Amino acid sequence: MLETLNPQPQDKILQLIAMYRDDPRDTKIDLGVGVYKDATGLTPVMRAVKAAEKRLWEVEVTKSYTGLAGEPAYNAAMVGMILGAGFAERAASVATPGGTGAIRQALELIKMASPGATVWLSNPTWPNHPSIIKYLGMKMAEYRYFDAETRGVDFAGVLEDLGKVAKGDIVLLHGCCHNPTGANFTADQWAQVAGVLEARGAIPFIDLAYQGFGDGLEEDAAATRMIATRFPEVLIAASCSKNFGIYRERTGVLIALTDPARRAVVQGNLAFLNRQNYSFPPDHGARLVTMILEDDALRADWKAELEEVRLNMLTLRKTLAEELRKATNSDRFDFVADHRGMFSRLGLTEAQVAVLRETHGIYMVGDSRINIAGLNARTVPILAAAIAKVAG
Ligand code: PMP
């Protein structure tokens, strides 16, 4: 049987990690992989997470199974963090292994409820979106998103393409901090997008993987909350990997907003999907998140550290934009300071990306996406000078 399998194409980011690892130069800079790093290059365990782990070790008396949908307290805490108060009656939710698990369950729910629906993705988007949709054999389409000239959102393209969405189609939107571009809708643009989707009878599906990494914990949820208020049905796949720094604990949630009268059936279907795929979702990360969100002191400390992380990335953006102004003697790269989240797509060619890697030891994804958090005060001017050399 297994002899029928073909080799899978190598994952581009994993390939990049291997090339970086094998590069002997001690001046090399890794702007590839999508994890937050502090100025020393460490992806730290957050203070509140450490404190919650210690407390959990003291109070935990059993590791017996949790509920099929996860612990109700976790789901409620996540609905509260993402949507604020007032959605409990409409929200069905399940704990999932990371944001990826939530996306996968959302897509399977769509497939169960509406097998013929097309899922619309921004072009570009996180490569795992089309990959899972393809694997599930679902229909997909793309809407234009990125303006290669301005490196901002091609909003005319967005409106034109979303104007072609059919009734009942699903439109996947990045709730904040678009991956891979870093370019995001303004509040006014979000309202216009909501208007088009309403007019077309589409169902919004929001991927929220970076709440707290863009403009703030509440600010980054504003678009999701607006959509949640305006639409009768919304799917939200959220990840705790980044904002709690618990990448390997696999902690996410899928929320399906529906009519209160239908909530119990939707909830039952979400639990059914968990049962089919892995039975009980992982609990350790979810429990830490619940402890932090429910405890005033832990929550305050977590929020303060998340804000440090966010402001660190914002400072790096500002200094990189300034250094690029100096190095290129132009304002062509000012967009770096306007982008939000961990990533920016610089708009370099594949050949320029290759020169940066081979000649300068600077590693970024082939589409010229950089991880801002891979930089520090020392490396920002080095990157700016190298970019000016290859693209100045
Ligand atoms: N959505 C987007 C846009 C992402 O960038 C990521 C992580 N790279 C995820 C979802 C899922 O994250 P995880 O499964 O690690 O929680």
For residue range 72-130, what is the model confidence (pLDDT) as tens digits?
A: 999 999 999 999 999 999 999 999 999 999 999 999 999 999 999 999 999 999 999 99
**Residues 20, 30: contact at Cβ < 8 Å?**
yes
Both 191 and 308 in one domain: the answer is no
Both 272 and 164 in one domain: the answer is yes
Both 38 and 52 in one domain: the answer is no
Q: Can you spell out the DSSP letters for 322-387?
A: HHHHHHHTSSTTTHHHH--SSEEE----HHHHHHHHHHH-EE--TT-EEEGGG--TTHHHHHHHHH
Residue 169 lies in a domain: yes
Residue 289 lies in a domain: yes
Residue 3 lies in a domain: no
Using only C-alpha atoms, what is the Rg of the chain? 21
- Domain range holding 231? 48-294
Both 61 and 201 in one domain: the answer is yes
Give the number of the atom of ligand 1 that is nearest the alpha carbon of residue 247.
Answer: 15
Distance CA 95, CA 255 (A): 9
Distance CA 392, CA 389 (A): 6
What mean pLDDT is predicted for residues 336-350? Answer: 97
Both 273 and 335 in one domain: the answer is no
* Ligand 1 atom 4, closest CA: 209
For residue range 227-267, what is the model confidence (pLDDT) as tens digits?
A: 999 999 999 999 999 999 999 999 999 999 999 999 999 99
Both 72 and 110 in one domain: the answer is yes
Q: Which two tokens stand for residue 164?
A: 């072609």
0.95 surpassed by complex ipTM: yes
Domain total in the chain: 2
Give the number of the atom of ligand 1 that is nearest the alpha carbon of residue 98.
Answer: 16
Both 267 and 338 in one domain: the answer is no
Residue 106 lies in a domain: yes
Distance CA 134, CA 326 (A): 44
For residue range 21-56, what is the model confidence (pLDDT) as tens digits?
A: 999 999 999 999 899 999 899 999 999 999 999 999
Both 198 and 85 in one domain: the answer is yes
Q: Which residue has tokens 């782990």?
A: 53
Distance CA 115, CA 207 (A): 20
Q: Is 120 a catalytic residue?
A: no
Q: Which residues contact 248 (CB under 8 A, 6 or more apart)?
A: none
Give the number of the atom of ligand 1 that is nearest the alpha carbon of residue 125.
Answer: 3
- Would you say the CB of residue 180 lies under 6 angstroms from ligand 1? no
Rounded to the nearest whole angstrom, what is the distance from the C-alpha of residue 125 to the centroid of ligand 1?
11
Residue of 105, 179, 206 to test ligand 1 pocket, by largest number of atoms within 8 Å of CB:
179
Both 151 and 272 in one domain: the answer is yes
Which of 192, 187, 227 shows the shortest CA–CA distance to 206?
A: 227
Q: Domain end: 294, 325, 343, which one?
A: 294
Both 188 and 274 in one domain: the answer is yes
**Residues 16, 365: contact at Cβ < 8 Å?**
yes
Q: Is 242 a catalytic residue?
A: yes
CATH number for the domain spanning 16: value is 3.90.1150.10
Mean pLDDT of the chain: 97
CATH number for the domain spanning 193: value is 3.40.640.10
Both 236 and 126 in one domain: the answer is yes
Rounded to the nearest whole angstrom, what is the distance from the C-alpha of residue 110 to the centroid of ligand 1?
19
What mean pLDDT is predicted for residues 135-140? Answer: 98
Distance CA 360, CA 379 (A): 12
pLDDT of residue 116: 95
Both 194 and 55 in one domain: the answer is yes
For residue range 280-339, what is the model confidence (pLDDT) as tens digits?
A: 999 999 999 999 999 999 999 999 999 999 999 999 999 999 999 999 999 999 999 999
Residue 4 lies in a domain: no
